Amino acid sequence: MVTCTCDTGVLIRHVEEATTLFQRMRGLLGCRGLGPERALLIASCRAVHTVGMRFALDLVFLDRANAVVRIVRNVPPGRWCVWGGWRAQCVLECEAGCVDLTALRPGMTLHCAPWAGE
């Protein structure tokens, strides 16, 4: 588990990483919700779907250097494709409204480090 920060401070305290093929394919399917300050980081991902999801998502697409490429808020369940763009390499998925993304702008870099606990 890691913590993601930006220039304005801690953004997300609890970030699970989906790195294996199975973890990336499953994503958040079957989850009832993530709650505040939690997210899933999906590696090697330029697009996501919300078919079968139980809750809306806020998405932050990142490039290879963890710079924000695109932010998509409040994606409802049932969407076939949300694309991050050609430069996107991974995506942070958060439950809609549970993480304050207002400080993020395209081009800002996220810094992710192992979570040190409360």
pLDDT digit string, tens, across residues 92-101:
999 999 998 8
3-state secondary structure of 73: strand
Distance CA 107, CA 6 (A): 11
- Span 24-30, mean pLDDT? 84
Burial readout 20-45 (b: 16 or more C-beta within 10 A, e: otherwise): eeeebeebbeeeeebeebbbbbbeeb
Instruction: State pLDDT tens for residues 40-84.
Output: 999 899 999 999 999 999 999 999 999 999 999 999 999 999 999
**Whether domain 2-114 has CATH 2.60.120.1140:** yes
Give the pTM.
Answer: 0.90
Sorted by where each begins, the domain ranges of the chain are: 2-114
Q: What is the mean pLDDT of the chain?
A: 89
